[in-house]
């Protein structure tokens, strides 16, 4: 999904050059160099493109803006200053009802005269290593709430010869809506053409670095995102074009009246087709599944992308949309809708003509006590099905008309590669790289795992404290995290809710060879144990084990969560998931998977406090 916002915060930041001979790009011109939906890898993505600043720029937020922040001055986050944002592209991976599962955003910022935004950001990160947003309470029933965030300055990274300054943030709130998610995010800053590029990523892998590199190239070459739109109309079919090629044709904010914002979107992709509606007869609209997590579920077409125009009038939100996709072989959604509308008594009228494009419009109205009352148009443009709501002639924003016009004029320099292939469902038997198989349960393994419940159970309070980098002052992590190390320092572990990561940098046990596809991200000294089993090595953009942690004494057992514990002994670390009767032993010399029998009993001792 791509949301393009014009005017709200953008124009006050437009440059005003003192030298009339100096040509400084406007915010609108800079926005053309930012990544769009077509540039984001794979699908699905929600991407907000703003000319000027979004209302809530990606990254750490101080909300409301006047909320008290400690230390003093840490509420002014340089790379979050809205008045310096010229344009932004903010992407998130939608996951249906579960919310967002990843973010990757890029924005272009201007510098105030005589200042260095990157240096200011680094100075802020060092001063505000642990800043706290404070929300005062009103009394004992409503205590004060504090939201702490840990900040670390990472070593710089090179992308296409350009140095990226990296700032790592960890959300250490005690409670939040999705406590099982990752709490880390990374801010990346680079300089280009007298401007500062800022990337923000959260659970999105290499995407931000790739998008930053793309934006840098466009700025350096002064070549904006491609739009294959010649002046003449073409009649060749577009069905054989890929989704990413066709997403280049989506209208932008410049195609809508100023009071409208514009959103582009790609449909959610999930395994299976659960959650779709089970309606039939007149309740089943042929061109829209109104209940499922995407509109084409159980329908005779595959949606490729959509564009929506939105505005607020008298506190009432208005939305106008246009979607396009490819009908299934032998299907005609237009004919199906015509028969359905006639059979259900819904009025049908011809669609407003756009050149050679024709179709139908239908008025869908529910019972008197129903809120269902809308119009829609269906048409076929160069082999693609286009669906608009409201009907084409009733759209004030004209966003659907712009989409149809772009589809009519589209021409590509390359030969079509065929329609987008259907992605195969993942094979559940395929294990991640470095996966360690568990052996057959044995009495010997059961005895080893049972020893964990005999160690001295420790209070975990001091193990919520850790330092992300070796030079970091330790801070208190969230309740989701625990950090501990062996007395010799040879083993260091971080528990992130549901998964334990342990690092043995000097280990001599056999390591998993670096997988070619993820070699740069592969951390072969780290072991992972959790829902996904046991892995010898992990793929991650950043360190997953905190560099500074408190010592877990020999003979001590630490409870990570119900049913999962670890025992530190002279010969190494032994961990167990009692619910699955699985565990492992880890030392410099070995990584050994263990499987217990039914005789393995849970540790029922109360947690010390």
Q: Give pLDDT tens digits for 550-578.
A: 999 999 999 999 999 999 999 999 999 99
Long-range contacts: 67-74, Cβ < 8 Å, 24+?
67/133, 67/134, 67/135, 68/133, 68/134, 68/136, 69/131, 69/132, 69/133, 69/134, 70/131, 70/132, 70/134, 71/127, 71/128, 71/131, 73/127, 73/128, 74/124, 74/127, 74/128, 74/131
Quickly list DSSP for 113-156: TT--HHHHHHHHHHHTTEEEEEE--SBTTB--EEEEEEEEEEEE
Range 2-221 has CATH code 3.40.1000.70: yes
What's the DSSP call for residue 17? Answer: -
Task: Using pLDDT thresholds of 50, 70 and 90, give the confidence band for residue 179.
Answer: very low
Q: How remote is the C-alpha of 558 from its chain's centroid?
A: 33
Q: Which two tokens stand for residue 183?
A: 């709490």
Q: How far apart are CA 159 and CA 217, in angstroms?
A: 11
Task: Using pLDDT thresholds of 50, 70 and 90, give the confidence band for residue 421.
Answer: low
**Hey, CA dihedral for 368, 374, 380, 384, is it positive or negative?**
negative
Q: Which two tokens stand for residue 336?
A: 């199906």
pLDDT score of 7 more than 80:
no
Average pLDDT of span 292-317: 89
- Predicted TM-score (pTM) of the model is 0.86
pLDDT recorded at residue 535: 97
Q: Give yes or no for a contact between 24 and 15, defined as CB atoms under 8 angstroms apart.
A: yes
Average pLDDT of span 189-194: 94
The mean-pLDDT minimum among 27-31, 234-238, 289-293 falls in 289-293
Alpha helices in 222-370 (DSSP H): 243-247, 333-344
Average pLDDT of span 50-60: 88
Share in percent of the chain as helix, strand, coil (round to 5): 15, 35, 50
Q: Give yes or no for a contact between 363 and 378, defined as CB atoms under 8 angstroms apart.
A: no
pLDDT recorded at residue 18: 44
Instruction: Give the strand pairing for 481-485 and 548-551.
Output: parallel
Please measure the distance between the N-terminal and C-terminal CA atoms of the chain and give it in whole angstroms: 47
pLDDT recorded at residue 434: 94
Phi, psi of 377 (to 5 degrees): -120, 145
Residue 31's H or E segment, with its range, is helix 27-31
Q: Where in the chain is the domain with CATH 3.40.1000.70?
A: 2-221
Q: How far apart are CA 498 and CA 563, in angstroms?
A: 11
pLDDT recorded at residue 274: 61
Alpha helices in 359-497 (DSSP H): 399-409, 443-450
Q: In the chain, what percentage of residues exceed pLDDT 70?
A: 90
Mean pLDDT of the chain, nearest integer: 88
pLDDT recorded at residue 457: 98
**Best mean pLDDT range from 92-106, 244-258, 517-531:** 517-531
Q: How far apart are CA 39 and CA 354, in angstroms?
A: 29
């Amino acid at each position: 999904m791509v949301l393009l916002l014009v005017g709200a915060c953008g124009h006050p930041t437009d440059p005003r050059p003192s030298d009339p001979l100096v040509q400084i790009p406007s915010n609108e011109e800079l926005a053309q160099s930012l990544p769009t939906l077509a540039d984001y890898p794979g699908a699905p993505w929600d991407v907000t493109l703003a000319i000027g600043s979004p209302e809530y720029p990606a990254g750490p937020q101080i909300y409301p803006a006047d909320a008290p922040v400690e230390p003093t001055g840490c509420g002014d986050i340089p790379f979050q200053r809205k008045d310096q944002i010229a344009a932004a592209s903010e992407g998130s991976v939608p996951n249906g009802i579960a919310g967002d599962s990843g973010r990757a955003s890029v924005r272009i910022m201007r510098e105030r005269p005589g200042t260095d935004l990157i240096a200011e950001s680094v100075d802020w990160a060092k001063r505000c290593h642990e800043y706290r947003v404070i929300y005062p309470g009103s009394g004992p029933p409503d205590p004060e709430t504090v939201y702490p965030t840990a900040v670390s300055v990472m070593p710089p990274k090179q992308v296409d010869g350009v140095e990226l300054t990296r700032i790592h943030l960890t959300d250490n709130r005690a409670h939040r809506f999705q406590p099982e998610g990752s709490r880390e995010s990374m801010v990346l800053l680079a300089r280009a053409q007298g401007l500062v590029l800022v990337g923000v990523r959260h659970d999105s892998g290499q995407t931000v670095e790739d998008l930053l590199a793309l934006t840098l190239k466009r700025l350096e070459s002064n070549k904006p995102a491609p739009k294959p739109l010649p002046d003449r109309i073409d009649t060749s079919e577009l069905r054989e074009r890929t989704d990413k090629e066709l997403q280049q044709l989506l209208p932008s904010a410049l195609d809508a009246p100023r009071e409208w914002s514009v959103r582009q979107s790609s449909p959610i992709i999930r395994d299976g087709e659960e959650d779709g509606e089970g309606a039939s007869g007149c309740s089943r609209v042929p061109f829209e599944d109104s209940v499922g997590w995407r509109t084409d579920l159980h329908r005779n077409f595959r949606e490729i992308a959509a564009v929506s125009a939105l505005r607020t009038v008298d506190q009432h939100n208005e939305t106008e949309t246009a979607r396009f996709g490819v009908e299934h072989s032998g299907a005609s959604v237009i004919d199906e809708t015509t028969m359905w509308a006639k059979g259900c008594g819904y009025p049908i009228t011809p669609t407003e003509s756009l050149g050679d494009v024709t179709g139908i419009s239908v008025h869908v109205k529910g019972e008197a006590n129903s809120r269902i009352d809308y119009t829609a148009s269906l048409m076929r443009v160069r082999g693609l099905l286009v669906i608009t709501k409201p009907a084409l002639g009733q759209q004030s924003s004209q966003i659907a008309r712009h989409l149809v016009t772009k589809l009519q004029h589209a021409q590509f320099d390359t030969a079509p590669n065929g329609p987008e292939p259907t992605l195969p469902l993942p094979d559940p038997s395929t294990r991640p790289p470095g996966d360690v198989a568990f052996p057959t349960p044995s009495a010997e393994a059961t005895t080893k795992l049972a020893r964990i419940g005999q160690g001295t159970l420790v209070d975990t309070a001091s193990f919520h404290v850790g330092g992300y980098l070796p030079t970091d002052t330790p801070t208190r992590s969230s309740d989701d995290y625990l950090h501990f190390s062996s007395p010799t320092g040879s083993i260091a572990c971080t528990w992130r809710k549901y998964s334990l990561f342990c690092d043995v940098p000097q280990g001599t046990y056999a390591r998993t060879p670096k997988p070619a596809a993820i070699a740069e991200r592969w951390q072969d000294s780290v072991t992972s144990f959790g829902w996904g089993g046991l892995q010898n090595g992990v793929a991650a953009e950043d360190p997953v084990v905190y560099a500074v942690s408190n010592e877990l004494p020999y003979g001590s057992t630490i409870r990570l969560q119900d049913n999962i514990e670890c025992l530190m002994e002279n010969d190494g670390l032994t961990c167990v998931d009692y619910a699955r009767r699985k565990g492992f032993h880890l030392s410099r010399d070995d990584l050994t998977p263990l499987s217990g029998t039914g005789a393995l009993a849970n540790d029922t001792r109360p947690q010390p406090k």
